[in-house]
């Protein structure tokens, strides 16, 4: 991999996402799973497969595609014409094959994606109110990542998101320590649930942080504390209330970009991240960077998963408007 010529490298979970529609998330009951709208949980494979079987009988199958927070962000950036790559793991199964094929269609470099074991899977539950719940089952492919540590220094910019598996988490920490990276980072609920002390190694390496209001509140950490750790820019995702940008000497708040058609909000936060990173890379002003993130997120709502992502022409047209 000619990393020096890349704009972005992603690192995080690589999932195969399976979408189901149910009448109302708050009425779905299955074993001890807390199905809360807007939230995410991790399940062992056996319980996950039982839950999948339950949904096949009690829900409506909608769509399936590749997923994972960092994977969605890097996919969008690649689709828009940036030079990208990904470091992670998929299984030696059809799910893994499908993930790689999606990446390769948008010219995303898959050279450093390990192919071994079983692919991580995610169930995306949507209801009539457009609320969403995600259940993830890490595949065992991630345990082989520790045998796939990059041997050469990495100079390109990294975007990290969470791994549900301990092996994936350890893999990221090794990369952070070995190469002294400065990254953009979206911890997601899975990492936030592990606590502030767990997150410190990632936060100390973070230049740009993407986080939701709920996640920030749960961490019980102030913006000043985040600046002290070395974070330069914080992008706070506020759902239907829009988003905010914070740095030591500046703050901005903008409402959502309103759209008429809302089909699915899965990945909207990831495409927000992609818009922000693209805007920073293109050296846009902070307000325009935030607008691009909100626009990318809003337009993604028009379809399921990656089908809603801005295409390159739409992306360039909006860039032209911003300039």
pLDDT tens profile 77-93: 999 999 999 999 999 99
d(CA 201, CA 150): 19
Q: How far apart are CA 147 and CA 276, in angstroms?
A: 32
**CATH numbers and ranges of domains, the chain:** 3-12+67-116+139-322 (3.40.1190.20)
Tokens of 15: 């999932």
**Is residue 221 classed as helix, strand or coil in its secondary structure?**
coil
Structure tokens belonging to residue 274: 């992609």
Q: Report yes or no: 202 and 231 within 8 Å, Cβ to Cβ.
A: no
pLDDT of residue 4: 54
For residues 114-135, give the mean pLDDT: 89
Average pLDDT, the chain: 92
Question: What value does the mean pLDDT take over residues 17-26?
Answer: 90
For the stretch 257-310, pLDDT in tens is 999 888 877 789 999 999 999 999 999 999 999 999 999 999 999 998 899 999
Q: Which residues contact 215 (CB under 8 A, 6 or more apart)?
A: 187, 188, 189, 192
Q: What is the pLDDT of residues 156-192, one digit of tens each?
A: 899 999 998 899 999 999 999 888 888 999 999 989 9
Helical ranges in 65-195 per DSSP H: 69-79, 94-105, 166-179, 188-192
Q: What is the mean pLDDT of residues 7-14?
A: 95
pLDDT at site 152: 67
For 212-240, what is the mean pLDDT?
96
pLDDT band at 255 (very low <50, low <70, confident <90, very high): very high
Q: Report the pLDDT averaged over residues 108-128.
A: 92
> Residue 42 — pLDDT band, cuts 50, 70, 90?
confident
pLDDT of residue 154: 66
Q: Quick check: 1 pLDDT over 60?
A: no
Distances in whole angstroms, Cα of residue 253 to Cα of each of 93, 148, 238, 244, 286: 44, 41, 10, 4, 11
pLDDT given for residue 323 in this prediction: 81
Quote the pTM value.
0.90
């Amino acid at each position: 991999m000619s990393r020096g010529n890349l704009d972005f490298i992603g690192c995080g979970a690589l999932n195969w996402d399976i979408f189901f529609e149910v009448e109302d998330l708050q009425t779905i009951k299955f074993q001890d799973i807390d199905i809360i709208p807007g939230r995410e949980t991790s399940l062992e494979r056996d319980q996950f497969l039982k839950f999948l079987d339950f949904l096949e009988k009690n829900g409506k199958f909608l769509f399936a595609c590749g997923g994972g927070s960092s994977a969605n962000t890097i996919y969008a950036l690649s689709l828009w014409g940036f030079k990208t790559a990904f470091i992670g793991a998929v299984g030696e199964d059809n799910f893994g094959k499908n993930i790689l094929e999606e990446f390769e269609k948008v010219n995303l470099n898959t050279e450093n994606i390990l192919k071994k074991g079983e692919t991580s899977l995610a169930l995306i539950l949507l209801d009539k109110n457009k609320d969403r719940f995600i259940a993830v089952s890490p595949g065992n492919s991630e345990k082989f990542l520790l045998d796939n540590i990059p041997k050469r220094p990495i100079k390109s910019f990294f975007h990290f998101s969470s791994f549900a598996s301990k092996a994936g988490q350890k893999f990221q920490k090794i990369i952070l320590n070995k190469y002294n990276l400065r990254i953009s980072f979206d911890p997601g609920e899975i990492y936030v649930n592990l606590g502030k002390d767990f997150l410190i190694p990632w936060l100390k390496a973070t230049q740009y942080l993407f986080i939701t209001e709920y996640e920030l509140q749960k961490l019980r950490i102030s913006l000043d504390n985040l600046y002290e750790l070395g974070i330069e820019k914080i992008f706070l995702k506020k759902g239907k209330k829009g988003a905010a940008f914070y740095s030591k000497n500046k703050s901005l708040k903008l409402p959502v970009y309103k759209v008429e058609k809302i089909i699915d909000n899965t990945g909207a936060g990831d495409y927000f991240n992609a818009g922000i990173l693209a805007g920073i890379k293109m050296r846009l002003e902070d307000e325009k960077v935030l607008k691009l993130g909100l626009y990318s997120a809003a337009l993604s709502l028009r379809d399921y998963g990656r089908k809603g992502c801005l295409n390159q022409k739409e992306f360039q047209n909006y860039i032209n408007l911003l300039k």
